[in-house]
């Protein structure tokens, strides 16, 4: 078996999926499709606690309220995957894409901002475009050889 080298580990990773237009969906299904679209949830995955976590962040944003791991665990008590370590792991995944940020009071949607702004101002230019540019560099190098 080939040994993984440091060069085989991606600097950043994103999965994009395109679904039907988001009209007529109930709020939780809209959250689910958004997370599926970003690759934070896999199609058919039964462990979808990240949907509940992100939904809580969206509701907290309306009240300009931050959440901590304990708040989320308490709110989702009894749901599969609602343990503190798993909630922390899911928050980290949201933080890695700059959708959620940590401040001195806990976690919140980045700057209590609009998700569209986060996608437009961070995800597209710094994740998607840079990944596409690196893909083009590989393509050019393949063509050059």
Per-residue pLDDT reduced to its tens digit, 56-66:
999 999 999 99
Confidence of residue 3 (pLDDT cuts 50, 70, 90): low
- Judge whether 142 lies within some domain: yes
Q: What is the mean pLDDT of the chain?
A: 91
Judge whether 3 lies within some domain. no
- Give the Cα separation of 40 and 71 in Å (integer): 22
**94 and 121 both lie in a single domain:** no
Euclidean distance between CA atoms 103 and 108, whole angstroms? 8
Percent of the chain with pLDDT over 70: 96
Over residues 81-89, the mean pLDDT reads 95
Are 125 and 73 found together in one domain?
no
Residues 66 and 88 in one domain: yes
Report the distance separating Cα 131 and Cα 12, nearest Å. 8
Would you state the pLDDT for residue 5?
A: 64
| 120 and 99 assigned to the same domain | no
CA atoms within 13 A on the CB side of 117: 7
**Where do we find the tokens 């990240």?**
50
Give the structural domain span for 48: 24-113
Residues with Cβ within 8 Å of 98's Cβ and at least 6 positions away in sequence, in order, are 110, 118, 122, 123
- Assess contact for 101 and 108: CB atoms under 8 A: yes
């Amino acid at each position: 078996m080939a040994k993984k080298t440091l060069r085989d580990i991606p600097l950043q990773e994103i999965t994009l999926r395109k679904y039907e237009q988001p009209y007529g969906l109930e709020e939780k299904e809209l959250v689910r499709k958004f997370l599926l679209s970003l690759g934070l949830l896999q199609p058919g995955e039964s462990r979808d606690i990240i949907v509940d976590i992100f939904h809580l962040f969206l509701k907290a944003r309306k009240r300009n309220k931050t959440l901590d791991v304990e708040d989320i665990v308490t709110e989702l008590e009894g749901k599969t995957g609602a343990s503190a370590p798993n909630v922390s792991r899911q928050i980290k995944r949201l933080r890695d894409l700059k959708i959620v940020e940590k401040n001195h009071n806990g976690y919140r949607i980045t700057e209590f901002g609009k998700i569209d702004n986060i996608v437009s101002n961070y995800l597209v230019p710094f994740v998607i475009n840079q990944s596409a540019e690196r893909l083009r560099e590989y393509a050019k190098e393949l063509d050059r050889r």
